[in-house]
Structure 1
Amino acid sequence: MDITSDTHSQHISRQFNQELEELKTHLMAMGGLVEQQVQEAVKSLLDNDSRLAEKIRDNDRQVNDLQIQIDDECTRILARRQPAASDLRLVVAVIRATSDLERIGDEASKIARNALSLSEGNSHVKGLVEVRHISEHVRKMLRDSLTAFARFDTELAMRVVHEDKLVDDEYGSAMRSLMTFMMEDSRSISSVLNVMWVLRALERVGDHANNLAEYVVYLVKGLDIRHTAPEELDENMLKKP
Protein backbone atom coordinates (compact mmCIF):
# COMPACT_ATOMS: atom_id res chain seq x y z
CA MET A 1 0.00 0.00 0.00
CA ASP A 2 1.27 3.49 -0.90
CA ILE A 3 1.18 6.01 1.93
CA THR A 4 0.68 9.75 2.06
CA SER A 5 1.13 12.37 4.76
CA ASP A 6 -2.41 11.60 5.94
CA THR A 7 -1.99 7.85 6.29
CA HIS A 8 -0.71 7.93 9.86
CA SER A 9 -3.71 9.93 11.11
CA GLN A 10 -6.04 6.96 10.61
CA HIS A 11 -5.16 4.91 13.70
CA ILE A 12 -7.81 3.89 16.19
CA SER A 13 -5.30 4.65 18.89
CA ARG A 14 -4.67 8.39 19.04
CA GLN A 15 -1.66 7.73 21.26
CA PHE A 16 -0.08 5.47 18.62
CA ASN A 17 -0.52 8.19 16.02
CA GLN A 18 1.11 10.67 18.39
CA GLU A 19 4.06 8.33 18.92
CA LEU A 20 4.61 8.06 15.16
CA GLU A 21 4.40 11.84 14.72
CA GLU A 22 6.88 12.37 17.55
CA LEU A 23 9.20 9.87 15.87
CA LYS A 24 9.16 11.91 12.68
CA THR A 25 9.59 15.17 14.61
CA HIS A 26 12.64 13.87 16.45
CA LEU A 27 14.14 12.59 13.19
CA MET A 28 13.68 16.03 11.61
CA ALA A 29 15.33 17.63 14.64
CA MET A 30 18.31 15.31 14.28
CA GLY A 31 18.46 16.09 10.57
CA GLY A 32 18.40 19.82 11.23
CA LEU A 33 21.21 19.45 13.74
CA VAL A 34 23.53 17.53 11.41
CA GLU A 35 22.79 19.92 8.55
CA GLN A 36 23.83 22.80 10.81
CA GLN A 37 26.98 20.94 11.83
CA VAL A 38 28.01 20.43 8.20
CA GLN A 39 27.32 24.09 7.42
CA GLU A 40 29.31 25.34 10.40
CA ALA A 41 32.18 22.91 9.81
CA VAL A 42 32.57 24.20 6.26
CA LYS A 43 32.24 27.79 7.50
CA SER A 44 35.03 27.20 10.02
CA LEU A 45 37.25 26.07 7.16
CA LEU A 46 36.38 28.88 4.75
CA ASP A 47 36.65 31.56 7.47
CA ASN A 48 39.73 30.01 9.10
CA ASP A 49 37.76 29.99 12.36
CA SER A 50 39.53 27.55 14.67
CA ARG A 51 37.17 28.22 17.59
CA LEU A 52 34.12 27.23 15.52
CA ALA A 53 35.99 24.18 14.23
CA GLU A 54 36.74 23.09 17.81
CA LYS A 55 33.06 23.49 18.71
CA ILE A 56 31.94 21.24 15.84
CA ARG A 57 34.69 18.70 16.51
CA ASP A 58 33.64 18.39 20.16
CA ASN A 59 29.85 18.57 19.61
CA ASP A 60 29.32 15.10 18.15
CA ARG A 61 27.82 13.82 21.38
CA GLN A 62 24.52 15.61 20.85
CA VAL A 63 23.93 13.80 17.56
CA ASN A 64 24.82 10.44 19.13
CA ASP A 65 22.40 11.07 22.00
CA LEU A 66 19.58 11.82 19.54
CA GLN A 67 20.28 8.60 17.66
CA ILE A 68 20.07 6.59 20.89
CA GLN A 69 16.85 8.35 21.89
CA ILE A 70 15.16 7.74 18.53
CA ASP A 71 16.32 4.12 18.39
CA ASP A 72 14.83 3.59 21.86
CA GLU A 73 11.53 5.08 20.68
CA CYS A 74 11.53 2.76 17.66
CA THR A 75 12.24 -0.26 19.87
CA ARG A 76 9.34 0.62 22.19
CA ILE A 77 6.95 1.04 19.25
CA LEU A 78 7.98 -2.29 17.76
CA ALA A 79 7.58 -4.06 21.11
CA ARG A 80 4.31 -2.48 22.25
CA ARG A 81 2.47 -1.74 19.00
CA GLN A 82 3.73 -4.52 16.72
CA PRO A 83 3.10 -2.26 13.69
CA ALA A 84 2.30 -3.68 10.28
CA ALA A 85 2.39 -2.46 6.68
CA SER A 86 3.14 1.25 6.28
CA ASP A 87 3.64 1.83 10.01
CA LEU A 88 6.32 -0.84 10.13
CA ARG A 89 8.01 0.68 7.10
CA LEU A 90 8.03 4.07 8.82
CA VAL A 91 9.77 2.67 11.90
CA VAL A 92 12.29 0.74 9.79
CA ALA A 93 12.97 3.82 7.62
CA VAL A 94 13.53 5.98 10.71
CA ILE A 95 16.00 3.45 12.16
CA ARG A 96 17.94 3.43 8.89
CA ALA A 97 17.79 7.22 8.58
CA THR A 98 19.18 7.87 12.06
CA SER A 99 22.22 5.75 11.21
CA ASP A 100 22.93 7.85 8.13
CA LEU A 101 22.37 11.11 10.01
CA GLU A 102 24.79 10.00 12.72
CA ARG A 103 27.39 9.31 10.05
CA ILE A 104 26.82 12.75 8.53
CA GLY A 105 27.60 14.15 11.99
CA ASP A 106 30.82 12.14 11.91
CA GLU A 107 31.72 13.64 8.53
CA ALA A 108 31.12 17.15 9.92
CA SER A 109 33.57 16.36 12.71
CA LYS A 110 36.14 15.21 10.13
CA ILE A 111 35.75 18.48 8.25
CA ALA A 112 36.25 20.41 11.48
CA ARG A 113 39.40 18.45 12.34
CA ASN A 114 40.86 19.20 8.92
CA ALA A 115 39.87 22.85 9.28
CA LEU A 116 41.90 22.96 12.49
CA SER A 117 44.90 21.43 10.74
CA LEU A 118 44.64 23.98 7.94
CA SER A 119 44.31 26.88 10.39
CA GLU A 120 47.79 26.06 11.73
CA GLY A 121 49.44 26.80 8.38
CA ASN A 122 50.16 30.19 6.88
CA SER A 123 50.16 29.37 3.18
CA HIS A 124 47.31 30.04 0.76
CA VAL A 125 44.93 27.07 0.74
CA LYS A 126 44.03 25.66 -2.66
CA GLY A 127 40.62 24.12 -3.34
CA LEU A 128 38.35 26.28 -1.19
CA VAL A 129 36.20 27.25 -4.16
CA GLU A 130 35.52 23.58 -4.79
CA VAL A 131 34.77 23.00 -1.09
CA ARG A 132 32.24 25.84 -1.07
CA HIS A 133 30.53 24.63 -4.24
CA ILE A 134 30.27 20.96 -3.30
CA SER A 135 29.23 21.78 0.27
CA GLU A 136 26.30 23.86 -1.00
CA HIS A 137 25.29 21.02 -3.32
CA VAL A 138 25.33 18.27 -0.70
CA ARG A 139 23.63 20.45 1.93
CA LYS A 140 20.78 21.03 -0.53
CA MET A 141 20.59 17.27 -1.11
CA LEU A 142 20.38 16.71 2.64
CA ARG A 143 17.75 19.39 3.11
CA ASP A 144 15.66 18.05 0.21
CA SER A 145 15.90 14.45 1.42
CA LEU A 146 14.66 15.47 4.87
CA THR A 147 11.83 17.48 3.30
CA ALA A 148 10.92 14.47 1.17
CA PHE A 149 10.87 12.29 4.30
CA ALA A 150 8.64 14.76 6.16
CA ARG A 151 6.19 15.03 3.23
CA PHE A 152 6.38 11.42 1.93
CA ASP A 153 7.39 12.99 -1.38
CA THR A 154 8.89 10.39 -3.73
CA GLU A 155 9.33 12.83 -6.61
CA LEU A 156 11.56 15.08 -4.51
CA ALA A 157 13.36 12.01 -3.17
CA MET A 158 14.14 10.83 -6.70
CA ARG A 159 15.53 14.25 -7.60
CA VAL A 160 17.98 13.81 -4.73
CA VAL A 161 18.92 10.34 -5.99
CA HIS A 162 19.72 11.77 -9.43
CA GLU A 163 21.75 14.60 -7.86
CA ASP A 164 24.17 12.12 -6.28
CA LYS A 165 25.78 11.34 -9.64
CA LEU A 166 26.40 15.06 -10.23
CA VAL A 167 28.11 15.37 -6.85
CA ASP A 168 30.29 12.36 -7.64
CA ASP A 169 31.32 14.02 -10.92
CA GLU A 170 32.09 17.33 -9.18
CA TYR A 171 34.10 15.50 -6.54
CA GLY A 172 36.13 13.61 -9.14
CA SER A 173 36.88 16.79 -11.07
CA ALA A 174 37.98 18.64 -7.92
CA MET A 175 40.24 15.79 -6.85
CA ARG A 176 41.95 15.66 -10.24
CA SER A 177 42.55 19.40 -10.12
CA LEU A 178 44.06 19.20 -6.64
CA MET A 179 46.26 16.25 -7.58
CA THR A 180 47.69 18.29 -10.46
CA PHE A 181 48.33 21.27 -8.21
CA MET A 182 50.00 19.08 -5.60
CA MET A 183 52.34 17.55 -8.18
CA GLU A 184 53.29 21.01 -9.45
CA ASP A 185 54.05 22.41 -5.99
CA SER A 186 55.34 19.95 -3.40
CA ARG A 187 55.11 22.61 -0.68
CA SER A 188 51.31 22.42 -0.97
CA ILE A 189 51.04 18.68 -0.32
CA SER A 190 50.05 18.93 3.35
CA SER A 191 47.32 21.54 2.89
CA VAL A 192 45.99 19.96 -0.29
CA LEU A 193 45.67 16.59 1.44
CA ASN A 194 43.58 18.26 4.17
CA VAL A 195 41.31 19.78 1.54
CA MET A 196 41.01 16.40 -0.19
CA TRP A 197 39.85 14.83 3.06
CA VAL A 198 37.28 17.62 3.40
CA LEU A 199 36.01 17.00 -0.12
CA ARG A 200 35.84 13.27 0.60
CA ALA A 201 33.77 13.96 3.73
CA LEU A 202 31.40 16.17 1.73
CA GLU A 203 31.04 13.52 -0.96
CA ARG A 204 30.10 11.06 1.79
CA VAL A 205 27.49 13.52 3.11
CA GLY A 206 25.98 13.41 -0.39
CA ASP A 207 25.98 9.60 -0.29
CA HIS A 208 24.13 9.59 3.03
CA ALA A 209 21.61 12.16 1.75
CA ASN A 210 21.05 9.84 -1.22
CA ASN A 211 20.42 6.97 1.21
CA LEU A 212 17.82 9.06 3.06
CA ALA A 213 16.04 9.73 -0.23
CA GLU A 214 16.02 6.01 -1.04
CA TYR A 215 14.39 5.32 2.35
CA VAL A 216 11.57 7.70 1.38
CA VAL A 217 10.81 5.54 -1.67
CA TYR A 218 10.87 2.45 0.54
CA LEU A 219 8.62 4.13 3.09
CA VAL A 220 6.02 5.36 0.61
CA LYS A 221 6.11 2.66 -2.06
CA GLY A 222 7.56 -0.34 -0.27
CA LEU A 223 10.31 -0.53 -2.92
CA ASP A 224 13.95 -1.10 -2.00
CA ILE A 225 15.93 0.84 -4.63
CA ARG A 226 19.28 0.86 -2.82
CA HIS A 227 21.02 -1.26 -5.47
CA THR A 228 19.13 -0.03 -8.53
CA ALA A 229 20.52 2.58 -10.91
CA PRO A 230 18.23 5.65 -11.04
CA GLU A 231 17.82 5.39 -14.84
CA GLU A 232 16.46 1.85 -14.42
CA LEU A 233 13.55 2.94 -12.25
CA ASP A 234 10.03 3.37 -13.58
CA GLU A 235 9.27 7.06 -13.00
CA ASN A 236 5.50 6.49 -13.19
CA MET A 237 5.75 3.94 -10.40
CA LEU A 238 7.54 6.45 -8.19
CA LYS A 239 5.24 9.42 -8.61
CA LYS A 240 3.33 10.67 -5.59
CA PRO A 241 0.03 8.84 -5.10
Structure 2
Amino acid sequence: MPRENYQARLDELRADVVAMGALVGERYETAIEAAVTGDAALADEVVGGDHEVNETYLALEDDCTDLLALQQPVAGDLRLVTASFKIITDLERIADLATNLAEYGGPDGGVHPAIEFEGLAAAAGDMVADAVAAYEAGDAEACREIAARDDDFDERCRRASEAVVRGLLDADGGTEGLEASIDEASRGLLAVRDLERIADHAVNVAARTLYMIENDDDLIY
Protein backbone atom coordinates (compact mmCIF):
# COMPACT_ATOMS: atom_id res chain seq x y z
CA MET A 1 0.00 0.00 0.00
CA PRO A 2 1.44 3.40 -0.92
CA ARG A 3 2.51 5.51 2.05
CA GLU A 4 -0.14 8.18 1.39
CA ASN A 5 -2.92 5.56 1.41
CA TYR A 6 -1.58 4.03 4.62
CA GLN A 7 -1.52 7.44 6.31
CA ALA A 8 -5.03 8.12 5.04
CA ARG A 9 -6.22 4.90 6.70
CA LEU A 10 -4.65 5.94 9.98
CA ASP A 11 -6.29 9.36 9.75
CA GLU A 12 -9.60 7.74 8.90
CA LEU A 13 -9.32 5.37 11.86
CA ARG A 14 -8.79 8.29 14.21
CA ALA A 15 -11.73 10.21 12.74
CA ASP A 16 -13.95 7.13 12.97
CA VAL A 17 -13.08 6.59 16.63
CA VAL A 18 -14.02 10.22 17.32
CA ALA A 19 -17.28 9.70 15.44
CA MET A 20 -18.02 6.63 17.57
CA GLY A 21 -17.38 8.76 20.64
CA ALA A 22 -19.95 11.27 19.39
CA LEU A 23 -22.49 8.50 18.75
CA VAL A 24 -21.98 7.08 22.24
CA GLY A 25 -22.30 10.58 23.68
CA GLU A 26 -25.66 11.04 21.97
CA ARG A 27 -26.89 7.69 23.30
CA TYR A 28 -25.71 8.61 26.76
CA GLU A 29 -27.52 11.95 26.77
CA THR A 30 -30.72 10.27 25.64
CA ALA A 31 -30.33 7.65 28.36
CA ILE A 32 -29.97 10.33 31.03
CA GLU A 33 -33.09 12.07 29.74
CA ALA A 34 -34.99 8.78 29.89
CA ALA A 35 -33.91 8.23 33.49
CA VAL A 36 -34.72 11.78 34.57
CA THR A 37 -38.17 11.79 32.96
CA GLY A 38 -39.06 8.14 33.50
CA ASP A 39 -39.96 7.97 29.80
CA ALA A 40 -40.23 4.23 29.08
CA ALA A 41 -40.48 4.76 25.30
CA LEU A 42 -37.27 6.79 25.34
CA ALA A 43 -35.57 4.10 27.41
CA ASP A 44 -36.65 1.49 24.87
CA GLU A 45 -35.20 3.67 22.12
CA VAL A 46 -31.82 3.70 23.86
CA VAL A 47 -31.85 -0.05 24.41
CA GLY A 48 -33.03 -0.77 20.87
CA GLY A 49 -30.42 1.53 19.35
CA ASP A 50 -27.48 -0.17 21.04
CA HIS A 51 -26.96 -2.36 17.99
CA GLU A 52 -25.71 0.67 16.04
CA VAL A 53 -22.91 1.19 18.55
CA ASN A 54 -22.08 -2.52 18.49
CA GLU A 55 -21.90 -2.55 14.69
CA THR A 56 -19.65 0.51 14.71
CA TYR A 57 -17.42 -1.15 17.28
CA LEU A 58 -17.08 -4.34 15.24
CA ALA A 59 -16.28 -2.42 12.05
CA LEU A 60 -13.55 -0.43 13.81
CA GLU A 61 -12.20 -3.56 15.43
CA ASP A 62 -11.81 -5.03 11.94
CA ASP A 63 -10.04 -1.87 10.76
CA CYS A 64 -7.57 -2.07 13.62
CA THR A 65 -6.95 -5.76 12.99
CA ASP A 66 -6.35 -5.17 9.28
CA LEU A 67 -3.89 -2.36 9.96
CA LEU A 68 -1.98 -4.49 12.46
CA ALA A 69 -1.91 -7.60 10.27
CA LEU A 70 -1.33 -6.05 6.85
CA GLN A 71 0.72 -2.94 7.60
CA GLN A 72 2.64 -4.02 10.72
CA PRO A 73 2.84 -0.44 12.04
CA VAL A 74 5.67 0.54 14.37
CA ALA A 75 6.39 3.26 16.95
CA GLY A 76 3.78 6.04 16.98
CA ASP A 77 1.59 4.41 14.34
CA LEU A 78 1.47 1.19 16.33
CA ARG A 79 0.50 3.08 19.47
CA LEU A 80 -2.27 4.86 17.55
CA VAL A 81 -3.78 1.60 16.34
CA THR A 82 -3.49 -0.25 19.65
CA ALA A 83 -4.79 2.72 21.63
CA SER A 84 -7.72 3.08 19.23
CA PHE A 85 -8.51 -0.62 19.64
CA LYS A 86 -8.64 -0.23 23.43
CA ILE A 87 -10.58 3.04 23.28
CA ILE A 88 -13.40 1.68 21.13
CA THR A 89 -13.81 -1.12 23.67
CA ASP A 90 -14.26 1.46 26.44
CA LEU A 91 -16.72 3.43 24.30
CA GLU A 92 -18.76 0.30 23.59
CA ARG A 93 -18.94 -0.44 27.31
CA ILE A 94 -20.03 3.12 28.06
CA ALA A 95 -22.88 2.61 25.60
CA ASP A 96 -23.85 -0.61 27.40
CA LEU A 97 -23.92 1.23 30.72
CA ALA A 98 -26.06 3.93 29.12
CA THR A 99 -28.70 1.33 28.32
CA ASN A 100 -28.72 0.43 32.03
CA LEU A 101 -29.10 4.06 33.08
CA ALA A 102 -32.00 4.59 30.69
CA GLU A 103 -34.05 2.05 32.63
CA TYR A 104 -33.35 3.33 36.15
CA GLY A 105 -35.89 6.14 36.07
CA GLY A 106 -38.92 5.73 38.29
CA PRO A 107 -42.47 5.76 36.90
CA ASP A 108 -42.79 9.41 37.90
CA GLY A 109 -39.33 10.33 36.70
CA GLY A 110 -36.05 10.61 38.52
CA VAL A 111 -33.77 7.97 39.99
CA HIS A 112 -33.54 8.72 43.72
CA PRO A 113 -34.26 11.97 45.58
CA ALA A 114 -31.05 11.73 47.64
CA ILE A 115 -28.86 11.61 44.52
CA GLU A 116 -27.87 14.62 42.48
CA PHE A 117 -28.30 12.36 39.48
CA GLU A 118 -28.26 14.95 36.72
CA GLY A 119 -25.15 16.60 38.14
CA LEU A 120 -23.30 13.30 38.47
CA ALA A 121 -24.41 12.21 35.01
CA ALA A 122 -23.26 15.49 33.48
CA ALA A 123 -19.86 15.21 35.18
CA ALA A 124 -19.33 11.65 33.93
CA GLY A 125 -20.49 12.60 30.43
CA ASP A 126 -18.12 15.57 30.38
CA MET A 127 -15.21 13.29 31.29
CA VAL A 128 -16.02 11.00 28.38
CA ALA A 129 -16.42 13.87 25.91
CA ASP A 130 -13.19 15.49 27.11
CA ALA A 131 -11.30 12.21 26.83
CA VAL A 132 -12.45 11.73 23.23
CA ALA A 133 -11.51 15.34 22.47
CA ALA A 134 -8.04 14.74 23.96
CA TYR A 135 -7.65 11.68 21.72
CA GLU A 136 -8.68 13.69 18.67
CA ALA A 137 -6.35 16.60 19.47
CA GLY A 138 -3.48 14.56 20.86
CA ASP A 139 -3.63 16.59 24.08
CA ALA A 140 -1.50 14.92 26.75
CA GLU A 141 -2.17 17.53 29.44
CA ALA A 142 -5.92 17.08 29.02
CA CYS A 143 -5.45 13.34 29.59
CA ARG A 144 -3.73 13.96 32.91
CA GLU A 145 -6.40 16.48 33.92
CA ILE A 146 -9.20 13.99 33.22
CA ALA A 147 -7.50 11.35 35.36
CA ALA A 148 -7.10 13.89 38.19
CA ARG A 149 -10.84 14.63 38.13
CA ASP A 150 -11.67 10.99 38.82
CA ASP A 151 -10.83 11.15 42.54
CA ASP A 152 -13.35 13.93 43.10
CA PHE A 153 -15.96 12.08 41.08
CA ASP A 154 -15.42 8.88 43.09
CA GLU A 155 -15.91 10.85 46.28
CA ARG A 156 -19.16 12.33 44.97
CA CYS A 157 -20.36 8.83 44.13
CA ARG A 158 -19.43 7.58 47.59
CA ARG A 159 -21.43 10.34 49.24
CA ALA A 160 -24.39 9.68 46.95
CA SER A 161 -24.40 5.98 47.80
CA GLU A 162 -24.24 6.76 51.51
CA ALA A 163 -27.21 9.11 51.14
CA VAL A 164 -29.22 6.35 49.48
CA VAL A 165 -28.46 3.88 52.26
CA ARG A 166 -29.30 6.44 54.98
CA GLY A 167 -32.60 7.12 53.25
CA LEU A 168 -33.41 3.43 53.21
CA LEU A 169 -32.59 3.04 56.90
CA ASP A 170 -34.86 5.95 57.74
CA ALA A 171 -37.71 4.70 55.55
CA ASP A 172 -41.09 4.20 57.18
CA GLY A 173 -44.56 3.45 55.96
CA GLY A 174 -45.24 -0.25 56.43
CA THR A 175 -44.46 -3.19 54.21
CA GLU A 176 -45.65 -1.58 50.98
CA GLY A 177 -43.74 1.61 51.66
CA LEU A 178 -40.60 -0.33 52.57
CA GLU A 179 -40.77 -2.33 49.35
CA ALA A 180 -41.05 0.88 47.34
CA SER A 181 -38.11 2.36 49.24
CA ILE A 182 -35.99 -0.73 48.58
CA ASP A 183 -36.79 -0.58 44.87
CA GLU A 184 -35.91 3.11 44.72
CA ALA A 185 -32.70 2.54 46.69
CA SER A 186 -31.68 -0.32 44.41
CA ARG A 187 -32.12 1.85 41.32
CA GLY A 188 -30.20 4.65 42.98
CA LEU A 189 -27.26 2.49 43.98
CA LEU A 190 -27.09 0.87 40.55
CA ALA A 191 -27.19 4.26 38.85
CA VAL A 192 -24.31 5.58 40.97
CA ARG A 193 -22.31 2.43 40.33
CA ASP A 194 -22.78 2.70 36.57
CA LEU A 195 -21.91 6.41 36.49
CA GLU A 196 -18.71 5.66 38.39
CA ARG A 197 -17.87 2.96 35.87
CA ILE A 198 -18.48 5.39 33.00
CA ALA A 199 -16.05 7.84 34.57
CA ASP A 200 -13.53 5.00 34.91
CA HIS A 201 -13.89 4.24 31.21
CA ALA A 202 -13.27 7.93 30.46
CA VAL A 203 -10.02 7.66 32.43
CA ASN A 204 -9.15 4.54 30.44
CA VAL A 205 -9.61 6.51 27.20
CA ALA A 206 -7.39 9.27 28.57
CA ALA A 207 -4.78 6.76 29.70
CA ARG A 208 -4.58 5.05 26.32
CA THR A 209 -4.45 8.43 24.61
CA LEU A 210 -1.54 9.54 26.78
CA TYR A 211 0.27 6.32 25.91
CA MET A 212 -0.43 6.94 22.23
CA ILE A 213 0.94 10.49 22.38
CA GLU A 214 3.94 10.17 24.67
CA ASN A 215 4.54 6.43 25.09
CA ASP A 216 3.69 7.09 28.74
CA ASP A 217 1.87 4.27 30.53
CA ASP A 218 1.65 6.07 33.88
CA LEU A 219 -2.16 6.33 33.81
CA ILE A 220 -2.65 2.75 32.63
CA TYR A 221 -1.20 1.10 35.75
TM-score by length of 1: 0.84
Is the 2:31–2:101 contact (alpha carbons within 8 Å) kept by the matching residues of 1? yes
* 1:34-183 alignment, distance < 5 Å: 34-115=24-105, 118-119=106-107, 126-127=112-113, 129-183=115-169
2:22 — aligned with what?
A: 32
1:206 — aligned with what?
A: 199
**Aligned in 2, Cα 1:123/1:97: closer, same or farther, shift over 3 Å?**
closer
The amino acid that maps onto 1:84 is V
1:3 — aligned with what?
A: none
**Aligned in 2, Cα 1:128/1:14: closer, same or farther, shift over 3 Å?**
farther
Task: For 1:220 and 1:88, locate their aligned partners in 2 and report how far apart those are by CA, in whole Å.
Answer: 11
Task: For 1:114 and 1:35, locate their aligned partners in 2 and report how far apart those are by CA, in whole Å.
Answer: 18
Task: For 2:97 and 2:109, locate their aligned partners in 1 and report how far apart those are by CA, in whole Å.
Answer: 25
1:225 — aligned with what?
A: 218
2:190 — aligned with what?
A: 197
Task: For 2:190 and 2:28, locate their aligned partners in 1 and report how far apart those are by CA, in whole Å.
Answer: 14
2:6 to 11, 16, 21: 16
Q: Deviations over 1:171-221 (max 9, x none)?
A: 000000110001111341111211221111111110000000001110011
What are structure 2's unaligned runs of at least 5 residues?
A: 172-177
Larger deviation, residues 84-93 vs 185-194: 185-194
Is the 2:34–2:42 contact (alpha carbons within 8 Å) kept by the matching residues of 1? yes
Task: For 2:154 and 2:19, locate their aligned partners in 1 and report how far apart those are by CA, in whole Å.
Answer: 27
Q: Deviations over 1:33-68 (max 9, x none)?
A: 111111111111112211111101121111111111
The amino acid that maps onto 1:204 is R
Is the 2:32–2:118 contact (alpha carbons within 8 Å) kept by the matching residues of 1? yes
The amino acid that maps onto 2:8 is Q
Q: Deviations over 1:122-150 (max 9, x none)?
A: 59853375111111101110111001000
Task: For 1:96 and 1:125, locate their aligned partners in 2 and report how far apart those are by CA, in whole Å.
Answer: 31
State the number of aligned residues. 214
Is the 1:127–1:192 contact (alpha carbons within 8 Å) kept by the matching residues of 2? no
Is the 1:57–1:109 contact (alpha carbons within 8 Å) kept by the matching residues of 2? yes
User: Share of identical aligned residues, percent?
Assistant: 28
2:175 — aligned with what?
A: none
The amino acid that maps onto 2:199 is G
